[in-house]
Structure 1
Amino acid sequence: MRVPTAKRARIAAILLWLLGDWVCPSLAQDDAEPPDPDGLRPGLIAGFRPSREEPGHPHPEGEILRIDRSLVADWGSASPDPRLEPGPISAFWRGWLLIRQGGPYRFRLTTNGDARLRIGDRIVSGEGSDPIDLRPGLVALGLDLEGNADTSRLVVDWEGPGFGIEHIPPHLLVHEVEQSPPLDRFEQGRRLADQLGCANCHAMLGMPVHRDLGPPLDAAKTIRPEWLTDWLRDPSAIRPGSPMPGFGLDSGLAADLAAFLRSVSDAPIEPDREALMAMNVADAGRGRLAFRSAGCLGCHPPPEEPTRQSPGEGPDLSGIGRKRSPEAIAFLLGGARRSDPGRHRPSLGLSTDASAHLATYLGSLADPGAGPRERGTPEGDPNRGWILAASIGCANCHRVPGVEPASAPPLVAGSPPAAGCLADDPPGRVPRFDLDDDQRAALRALIAGLPSGPGRISDWTLAEDALRRRNCLGCHSRYGEGGERLGARLAALLAEDRELNALKGTLTPPDLSSVGAKLRPEYLDQAVRGLSPTARPWLSVRMPRFAFEDGEAEAIVSYLQGFDAIDDAPADPESSPSLGVPVGIRLLGRDGFSCVSCHVMDGKIPPGGEAETLGPDLTLAHRRMSRAYFDRWLADPQRIIPGTPMPQFLLTVPGTEGTLPQQLGSIWDALGDPEIARLSSTAARQFLVRQGDRALVVRDLVVSPDSPAESYPRAVAIGLIGDRSLLFDADRLSWIRWWDRGFLSRTKQGRLWEWHPEGRPLRVADEPLPPVAFRETDGAITLPQEERGRLGSFRELAFEGDGVRLSYRLNGPTGDQIDVTERIVPTEDGWERLVLVTGTPNGVEPVVVEIPPPDPGRGDSMVELLNAAGERIEERTTVGPARANALILGEGSGPPEARSFRIRVRILPGD
């Protein structure tokens, strides 16, 4: 799985150390020794403090130290930290910048404060710098800022060898661990308070209220009564570390509250017929694999290993079978709600069958961590329960019918940090959170550090809180941070779970580095909401759909765009070099940059490649991606996502005109063509496995050295029962080869898989001809019109009975589109080719073209060709200057606009 962030930074530093020369002046002296690569950690040391009225004379009181991962910030009308009150501030950032490639660099500083950037011993102010020559290694970086607390934006960009203006990538910024500031307990407490929903009861720092932090309580009838009573009495006894507090309830009060919740609950779930049938055949083993592979581990620990719940993490599900029946679990996972996320839980879009498997697995688990249940619990009084629900504030975090949120005193400067919920022994009905010592200390530090003024949290910080609250970085990585929770849990299971290990390459969600600059605004909004088309259909992990709070999704989108977007960079440059769509189509293929060998095309996954190397669907490229990002990504993918399998293109494709920018621009234009899938003929590249007594079909790159073109990137190879095989070029629309006594073998050349015919050749075409031509009234034979290097487009490949059906569309002689369907059916001694041609215009008739095998009369032929009547096909004609000796079959049946043909190929005995 992923290499930990700190380790990756150390590895990069060590590699550069081994490369040789370093330039490592410190900010204080130019001849400082470089830092120990093993002592580096990601991010820069940042400090903020109020300033004296006299410029340049800051005082240390109230200094806030932290680690900032980047040099991009936008505080809007707030301040860098809510503890900073309005007024002058001073800020600094210190650390090291990792230079991968030596050469001249320019830096650009954007801010509305007074800032100064130092790179080594050079100073950068304002909009830009003269070129600074830097060698590979570490160079000291320092930034000082004087401004007001509402200094809105700070961005440091650079450009250098081989790349244009961009934000300095966060993974290139490091600091020395020995100089790291102590943990900021205030900020740790603020984040924890957001995840626990402290502001739902206590107004504090302007923090937002999250009324749907807990699940709605109108579904109590889906919960087993005895579990509900035990839970209300002491949640931490069932799930240690749960964000749900206890209230010191005895069994009687817990029974009253449970009775009230059941009284306002919806009717019990009545599974529909489809769900019941699915549950009858559901398999717990398949459910366990789904739990491990769909991304559930990004939020929930493995149920087989119960553990204490951490902030921002989903609950331990090892006891969910005691909470709900498998049918109720299946209903909540899928069924009627599978495309509609609940107010508390997201939707994974599971089908009824998948929900049944997963529910059966979860329902089968015991809960060794649950405490003993008290038997003989009284029924409870719902009226007393309603009064209790209102008094303890259930509606502050849950939607409860008939109950309104309760008010609590605000938390301000001077509030006692060890009182109320944070007291060692909370009094009365005060919530009792199951906090460890570290969490309690952080929350107390938050209360103790509240500013006396009206502190305000920036919109960006609130958006980061939302990403944390939704646990986005539990699965995704972004700028080298995140994904550790899912990755670590999967890594621990891969060795023991063979089925999961077989899915290894499908378990890593996409990296979100620069996603705000990559995706177009409307597509990014869809992606955040879980509504975007599937660009990576090979992934087993799923993107959940959340029922966001008002404005929450918009805030996340705005933050990602603001953080990642490069100032003054147009989403789509008005003019860009290009050689045109036909060249771009060619460059997408094997004879170009081989994009189709790894990338999905129109939802179809290229066969033979490892999942780790697959790329997103290229037919969505223009809908998803900005042109500026496309250029930047192809220039150097490693700059954006270190370790990506995407190669860097530095050279032009031999034999193709134009410069590299022109060739890449042609690919971009080709990707924008609405017919890209048809034009590239890769929409259905696939490996179809034989099922029973049916044909075997491979659609991929086939290399046939004895054929005219030698290699066919979009070939269709058909292995019929009876051990006879045919090769069709779906690009040129031509039959290329017949053979028997074998089918295909597969080899790998670099990142490409190649298929090779094996066996005895029966016929090899001297030149590619279309399967169908047209006879005009004067008897002349006309071939389909060529357009963009093709005579038409391949449409469909499918099994039919014990044979295979192909369909394609030819460009007719007068611009019409002629549809052709061919069925290849095995016979006892060969096969039959059944051809149906429809849509032929008036004045011409379709004819079938064949290049014959050698004359059987010569004694060296292995096949003979017969027409529908069982006779030899004798008609020969010339169809072009270089196309002599072709056989033309015009005696089909039916009218010219829908004519069918039948040709039989018989394999002769002997060698």
Structure 2
Amino acid sequence: MELDKYVGKRNQYQKDIDAMMTDYNRLQARLSTLNPGLIVTSFRNAPVFDFMNPSEKIDQILLPNLFYDHPFKQIPRVDRCRTCHQGIDQKPYMDAPQPFRTHPNLDLYLGSGSPHPLESFGCTTCHAGLDRATSFQNAGHSPRSEEQRKEWEKKYGWHEDHFLETPMHPMNGIEAGCYKCHNASSDVPQAAALNNGRDLIRIYGCFGCHKLPGYENIRKVGPDLSTVSGKLTKEWVRKWLMNPKDFKSEARMPQFWWNSNNSGPQWDKRNAAEINAITEYLWSKSKPKELPAGRTGGNAEAGKQIIESVGCFGCHAIGPIQDVPNQSQTRRRHGFNLANQGSKVSASWIYNWVKDPAQVWPQTKMPSLRLTDDEAANVAAYLSSLKNPEWEAKPLPQVEEPALDEVTLEFLRANSTDIEAREKLKGMNLDQKNLYSGERLIARYGCFGCHTIPGFENAQPIGTELTEAGSKLISQLDFGFLPIEHSRHGWYEQKLKDPRIFDVGRVKRPEELLKMPNFHFADKDVNSITMVLTSLVREPVPLEMRDKTNTAIAEGRQLIAEKNCRGCHLIEGAGGDIRPTFSAQALWPPNLATEGFKTQPLWLHPFLKDPGTVRLRPWLTARMPTFHFTEQQAGTIERYFSAVDKVDYPFISTEIETDAERLRVGADLFAKLQCQSCHPTSNALPPGKAPEDLAPNLMLASQRLRPEWVLRWLQDPQKIFPGTRMPTFFPADAAHPEGVSPFPNILGGDVKAQIRAVRDHLFITVGGGRRSSLTTN
């Protein structure tokens, strides 16, 4: 018997071995067909005989709805990438070496159930490159770095293909392939770097000089200079124009003088003369606005606390912004950096500005924070105390008339002979030369693209149109004498890093020199903007394959970006950049997830128009600003929130069908759950409570919230706002997906009935809401 036991085990092990050997033998047989030997392989792949069963064959995907836009002809795409990338759409090969590795995130890209299935979109639609290529070199792979370039040159003999006009996007610029389809909205899903680039273009005002799609109706980014003499001094403006970053390193104004093509001793006098001429012209056209005398004598320390607490840091910063993601940095730069304001403007001007920005500049984007006179005076005292002593001590270069004569003569020669120009110059005094040259210098450098300047109301942008920058022929880009990669990506990167360096080594007259100023972008910002430029391609995409973002959502996202709402609020999972500046989570501006499903349109509309009339948490120092929304703008935001949450707008019913018994039970549960320990029912701060201990006032619930949202909120707050401090009173588990009540003896422990009872009490008894005509007593 003992022997039989071991014999049985041996037989079982033998069966297991035989089963494994069966798989092994099958795979070996398959391998022998794939590699039958050099002679057989050569024969089966040879011309004429390769029709039988070649081991090397092209794996291609026909994409009849996607085209290349060639001259006089649109050619359908035929992607052959899978010839090498065999496992690209198959999950088992996530850890395989290239080129067999699975594409990342198959649920989003290439998977049959993804929004971008391989059989419909292919590869080159997003990655670019030559669709019909079957070799690493010919496909148009682009290295992401100099190190990778050297590696490819050594391993694959890679080199730049000067004849391929559609090389692949490098992997650090891959999001450029998204925009051709996702161009209906200001935000492209899953494309943080691309979105950051679009935000940077909007903030830095690239559209002021260049025509760019999506930026057609945006206000100029720079301040109105028609009243400049009432705000600044000539000395300050001349220093500022020399190099804005000398005043503060975070300045957004670019540098026009002392760049790659106009630096050196031979340029110092001319640059000083040009700057002075522009300043004199601006002062000659300036008409200062009459403003009330600003209050002085505020408390600087109190002003600092106000700036840190009311919400200024959603759009502004003081000094460098560090250790935050790119897009968060960009949103925090929506407003100008507040550093060194005391060396720029007077306390009186700051007072009027923070008290009511629109009275100073009606077209301003800055909202009103409804500061009291004392608060405004304190803020003015603090900001005017922030100074840059080195800047104030910096001497101005002497302006010499011969240098101004040179500039003036250059402009006179444009429409006259040299002799005539010199005669006209002799008849001009110093003021005339400054005004004449200043006006033409403003036209040359395109200052009116960012600033409102009298005399340039109808001037046209001076920069190259960038609508199809991603399809611009590489042969049309002038690389000068620079040893850089001959590609669009490489040229745009260099142009953004040092716009005028392409003039180096060339002999040109001043009027022939490149004019684009230097923004001194950080490398990460250069990469983001380059990504946007290479995304602007002339490539037809059928309507059925484009992003089908609802018009209401697209318009709402555009306005939200324009007003920088995400600087304070978390919207569609992005934003809330001001949060790290607060000491406690309870002090954060609210998460606006489910805002359309949450709020009643008839409450949200007047709140957006004038948030000062409603204080949900009046004990907080942070406040929703008054943006002075028009009726159309307020409606755009309301429609956006409703469209995102797919709820009815604008007409909804808020009547509650209930009865006296349910209201009684609701009041009992309301007390047992201790709702008022966090939610007060008045605007006063309860004794012994700190602001961070409290949640919104429940007296406004029936006017503000949709009844059905409250039901979902009470059932699982964490599902709506992950991380919320609101406790989950009815936790769910696998056995009880609807939740478990802490009060099993009330309404038989029915969770839905208990939640409804609490909601009804909150709306009817606490909030004074409307009861349905079907309600029984």
TM-score class normalised by the smaller sequence:
0.5 to 0.7
Q: How many residues align?
A: 517
1:683-832 residue pairs with structure 2 within 5 A?
none
User: Does residue 328 of structure 2 align to residue 248 of structure 1?
Assistant: no
Q: Tell me the alpha carbon deviations over residues 269-300 of structure 1, each in whole angstroms, 9 at most, x when there is no partner.
A: 5544xx43xx23x1111111111111222332
Higher relative helix content: 2
Match of 1:63 in 2: 126
Match of 2:247 among 227, 232, 238: 238
Q: d(CA) in 2 for partners of 1:582 and 1:192?
A: 54
* CA separation of 1:363 and 1:542: change in aligned 2, threshold 3 A: same
Q: d(CA) in 1 for partners of 2:757 and 2:455?
A: 63
Asked if 2 retains the 8 angstrom alpha-carbon contact of 1:601 and 1:677, the reply is no
Asked if 1 retains the 8 angstrom alpha-carbon contact of 2:341 and 2:384, the reply is yes
Q: d(CA) in 1 for partners of 2:644 and 2:572?
A: 12
Match of 1:198 among 197, 202, 206: 206
Match of 2:410 in 1: none
* CA separation of 1:149 and 1:557: change in aligned 2, threshold 3 A: same
* Secondary structure of residue in 1 paired with 2:710: helix
Shift of 1:368: 6.3
Asked if 2 retains the 8 angstrom alpha-carbon contact of 1:211 and 1:399, the reply is no
Shift of 1:353: 0.6
User: Does residue 126 of structure 2 align to residue 46 of structure 1?
Assistant: no
Amino acid aligned to 2:680: V
Match of 1:470 in 2: 563
Match of 1:606 among 675, 686, 693: 686
Match of 1:414 in 2: 471
* CA separation of 1:57 and 1:472: change in aligned 2, threshold 3 A: closer
* CA separation of 1:561 and 1:57: change in aligned 2, threshold 3 A: closer
* CA separation of 1:584 and 1:297: change in aligned 2, threshold 3 A: farther
Match of 1:332 in 2: 353
Asked if 1 retains the 8 angstrom alpha-carbon contact of 2:600 and 2:703, the reply is yes
* CA separation of 1:479 and 1:383: change in aligned 2, threshold 3 A: same
Shift of 1:268: 5.8
Q: d(CA) in 1 for partners of 2:343 and 2:714?
A: 52
Asked if 2 retains the 8 angstrom alpha-carbon contact of 1:301 and 1:307, the reply is no
Q: d(CA) in 2 for partners of 1:580 and 1:251?
A: 84
Q: Tell me the alpha carbon deviations over residues 795-817 of structure 1, each in whole angstroms, 9 at most, x when there is no partner.
A: xxxxxxxxxxxxxxxxxxxxxxx
User: Does residue 647 of structure 2 align to residue 563 of structure 1?
Assistant: no
Match of 2:146 in 1: none
Q: d(CA) in 1 for partners of 2:355 and 2:754?
A: 47
Higher relative strand content: 1
Match of 1:432 in 2: 518
Match of 1:136 in 2: none
* CA separation of 1:352 and 1:28: change in aligned 2, threshold 3 A: same
Q: Tell me the alpha carbon deviations over residues 452-494 of structure 1, each in whole angstroms, 9 at most, x when there is no partner.
A: 14788855456445434533333223465432x4233446xxx
Asked if 2 retains the 8 angstrom alpha-carbon contact of 1:243 and 1:311, the reply is no
Q: d(CA) in 2 for partners of 1:630 and 1:242?
A: 46
Q: Could you state the TM-score of these two structures normalised by the residue count of structure 2?
A: 0.56
Q: d(CA) in 2 for partners of 1:196 and 1:45?
A: 36
Match of 1:301 in 2: 317
Shift of 1:556: 4.0
Asked if 2 retains the 8 angstrom alpha-carbon contact of 1:599 and 1:614, the reply is yes
Asked if 1 retains the 8 angstrom alpha-carbon contact of 2:250 and 2:320, the reply is no
* Secondary structure of residue in 1 paired with 2:273: helix
Q: d(CA) in 2 for partners of 1:191 and 1:337?
A: 24
Asked if 2 retains the 8 angstrom alpha-carbon contact of 1:578 and 1:665, the reply is no
User: Does residue 595 of structure 2 align to residue 515 of structure 1?
Assistant: yes
Q: d(CA) in 1 for partners of 2:210 and 2:630?
A: 19
Shift of 1:633: 0.8
Q: d(CA) in 2 for partners of 1:568 and 1:424?
A: 50
* Secondary structure of residue in 2 paired with 1:539: coil
Q: Tell me the alpha carbon deviations over residues 6-36 of structure 1, each in whole angstroms, 9 at most, x when there is no partner.
A: xxxxxxxxxxxxxxxxxxxxx9689999xxx
Q: d(CA) in 1 for partners of 2:358 and 2:767?
A: 36
Match of 1:158 in 2: none
Asked if 2 retains the 8 angstrom alpha-carbon contact of 1:239 and 1:370, the reply is no
Asked if 2 retains the 8 angstrom alpha-carbon contact of 1:516 and 1:524, the reply is no
Shift of 1:640: 0.7
User: Does residue 529 of structure 2 align to residue 443 of structure 1?
Assistant: yes
Amino acid aligned to 2:256: F
Shift of 1:361: 0.7
Asked if 2 retains the 8 angstrom alpha-carbon contact of 1:228 and 1:323, the reply is no
Gaps of 5+ in 2: 1-88, 96-103, 129-179, 259-270, 400-429, 478-487, 501-512, 731-740, 770-777
Shift of 1:357: 0.4
Asked if 1 retains the 8 angstrom alpha-carbon contact of 2:110 and 2:118, the reply is no
1:521-670 residue pairs with structure 2 within 5 A?
521-529=601-609, 531=611, 533-546=614-627, 554-565=635-646, 572=653, 576-579=657-660, 583=664, 586-587=667-668, 591-650=671-730, 651=741, 661-662=752-753, 664-670=755-761
Amino acid aligned to 2:453: V
Asked if 2 retains the 8 angstrom alpha-carbon contact of 1:245 and 1:431, the reply is yes
Q: d(CA) in 1 for partners of 2:540 and 2:125?
A: 16
Match of 1:719 in 2: none
Shift of 1:319: 0.9
Shift of 1:616: 1.3
Amino acid aligned to 1:599: H
Shift of 1:661: 4.4
Asked if 1 retains the 8 angstrom alpha-carbon contact of 2:663 and 2:765, the reply is no
* Secondary structure of residue in 1 paired with 2:109: strand
Q: Tell me the alpha carbon deviations over residues 613-655 of structure 1, each in whole angstroms, 9 at most, x when there is no partner.
A: 4121222212221112111111111111122222233337699
Q: d(CA) in 2 for partners of 1:329 and 1:575?
A: 50
* CA separation of 1:254 and 1:563: change in aligned 2, threshold 3 A: same
* CA separation of 1:423 and 1:436: change in aligned 2, threshold 3 A: closer
Asked if 2 retains the 8 angstrom alpha-carbon contact of 1:335 and 1:352, the reply is no
Shift of 1:355: 0.7
Asked if 2 retains the 8 angstrom alpha-carbon contact of 1:506 and 1:539, the reply is no
Match of 1:807 in 2: none
Match of 1:487 among 579, 601, 605: 579
Higher relative contact order (CA 8 A, sep 6+): 2
Q: d(CA) in 1 for partners of 2:623 and 2:221?
A: 22
Asked if 2 retains the 8 angstrom alpha-carbon contact of 1:211 and 1:395, the reply is no
* Secondary structure of residue in 2 paired with 1:287: helix
Asked if 1 retains the 8 angstrom alpha-carbon contact of 2:569 and 2:590, the reply is yes
Q: Tell me the alpha carbon deviations over residues 556-577 of structure 1, each in whole angstroms, 9 at most, x when there is no partner.
A: 4433322233589995477655
Match of 1:321 in 2: 342
C-alpha RMSD of matched pairs (Å): 4.9
Shift of 1:266: 4.2
Shift of 1:385: 3.4
Asked if 2 retains the 8 angstrom alpha-carbon contact of 1:505 and 1:611, the reply is no
Asked if 2 retains the 8 angstrom alpha-carbon contact of 1:49 and 1:62, the reply is no
Amino acid aligned to 2:208: N
Match of 2:303 among 274, 287, 305: 287
* CA separation of 1:556 and 1:410: change in aligned 2, threshold 3 A: farther
* CA separation of 1:519 and 1:184: change in aligned 2, threshold 3 A: closer
User: Does residue 448 of structure 2 align to residue 392 of structure 1?
Assistant: no
Q: Could you state the TM-score of these two structures normalised by the residue count of structure 1?
A: 0.49
Amino acid aligned to 1:331: N
* Secondary structure of residue in 1 paired with 2:108: strand
